[in-house]
Amino acid sequence: MRRAGLSAVAAVGVLGLSLTACTAVGGVATPQAAMRVTEVAGTITYWDTADAKAEGPVYDQLISAFQAKFPKVKVNHVYVDFNQAQNKFIAAAGAGKDVPDVLRIDGGAIPALVNASAIAPLDGTPALDDEPDFLPGPLDTTVYKDHVYGAPQVTDTLGLLYNKALFKKAGIANPPRTWAELKAAGKAIKAKTGADGLYLNSAAYFFLPFLYGEGTDWVDADNKKITVSSPKVVAAIHTAQDLIASGAAVAPNFADLYGGMQSSFKEGRVAMVINGPWSVADDYSGPAFKDNANLGIAPVPAGGSGTAGAPTGGQNLVVYAKSQNSAAAHAFISFINSAASQATVAAKNGTLPTRASAYTADVRRNTTIAGFQPVLQIARARPAVAKGGELYTPFETTLGRILQGQVAVQRGLEETAQTYHGILTDYTAG
């Protein structure tokens, strides 16, 4: 849940932003704070989960620039495996040994890190310089128990990616805005082109837009209720079943959910998928998108609630709760996560910035970034649940069984709810 007082997104534009770090009190930058930051000294260790080869070079350049600006600060830059970072960090923090001062981590890990007393709030620190410039969706992923525990570095979400040529051949002028429109479009595409309409990926994360379209989720974190077997979740699954039964969508390859989706889409055997910006480079490698302009990007369709929604992904920068070099850590985050730095990273790596003013004209020349920028407007943070990562597999397993006719919808979801009760022992039935 977004804490009271978090500022809304600033207007997108090209701003002349300084890399000088300062904090803000009541929205006014204080010279005293700026002086404290520029005078910091010490050694900090930074655990970085970015891809060292594909993403690392631009971050290496920024770190070198930071150390040139702050010569009294030394940065030990260590790449760590994304899949192991959370557990490795919590274990190190618990032992109080070899803990990095700064960690790059998925937004969904914030509650678990807070509950482990492993990270410190960043409210009012230079790490959150110009807080109103952060997009609300990415900033929401850092909020837990009314405090901000991270500085959003890069973000992403899910959009509806589509094959413009197949749309044109089927006589479809615009991407569907609702699941009902998608059903009609999918059937027309199948009838007029022979290609399937939508590849329906039943992986838990990729199914969230169906839930959000009904105005629901697996759990209600604010009220500590398990809602996975609620009528709204049932309705979301019925929508998916109807798309497949009608011929508007094709069921996934349950043995390879993501790989099956990607091969079908980039080879032109399916016209639509729900996927994120990370997939675009792979899409371009396929015959369907040799002409990159053939790839369309739109928001996911709306469901029965009349609204559309997709999960906010991305990476945040957090600070170890017992860091002996927190001033240097805050200065470091402020520098490499400024609007100017984010724009540099976006231009080099093609990732989506979390600051509104980082979407400069140069950054928007990247068609993926330009395409996903409006999609971010409907992105929403996933529930702030310490054990949220454990909820994906039970739901995904049940959904796969439902779509394969192995269990009825309500019964399968009630079984999933029981599993959730074993994970979230302080939650009640929704």
| Whole-angstrom distance, CA of residue 146 vs CA of residue 1 | 8
Q: What is the pLDDT of residue 29?
A: 35
The band of 12, judged by pLDDT with boundaries at 50, 70 and 90, is very low
pTM of the model: 0.89
Work out the pLDDT band at 38, boundaries 50, 70, 90.
low
C-alpha 340: how far from chain center: 21
Listed in sequence order, the residues at least 6 apart from 22 whose beta carbon sits closer than 8 Å to its beta carbon are 29, 30, 31, 33, 34, 37, 126, 129
Helices assigned H by DSSP within 267-303: 280-284
103 pairs with which residues across the strands? 47, 318
What's the whole-number mean pLDDT along residues 282-309?
97
Residue with tokens 């945040």: 316
The half-sphere exposure of 343 on its side-chain side, counting CA atoms within 13 A, is: 21
3-state secondary structure labels for all residues of 160-214: EEEEHHHHHHCCCCCCCCEHHHHHHHHHHHHHHHCCEEEECCCCHHHHHHHHHHC
- Confidence (pLDDT) at 8: 33
**340-379 tens-digit pLDDT:** 999 999 999 999 999 999 999 999 999 999 999 999 999 9
Has residue 21 got a pLDDT over 60? Answer: no
Helices (H) and strands (E) in the chain, counts: 16, 20
Q: Long-range contacts of range 77-86, CB-CB < 8 Å, 24 or more positions apart?
A: 77/46, 77/48, 78/45, 78/46, 78/47, 78/48, 79/47, 79/48, 79/49, 79/50, 79/52, 80/47, 80/48, 80/49, 81/49, 82/49, 82/106, 85/47, 85/49, 86/112, 86/113
Q: What is the mean pLDDT of residues 59-65?
A: 97
Give pLDDT tens digits for 121-153.
Answer: 999 999 999 999 999 999 999 999 999 999 999
DSSP 8-state secondary structure symbol assigned to residue 302: B
DSSP state of 117: T
Provide the pLDDT for residue 181.
98
Q: Shortest CA distance to 134 belongs to which of 351, 338, 370, 350?
A: 338
400, two tokens: 């796969």
Q: What percent of the chain has pLDDT over 70?
A: 91
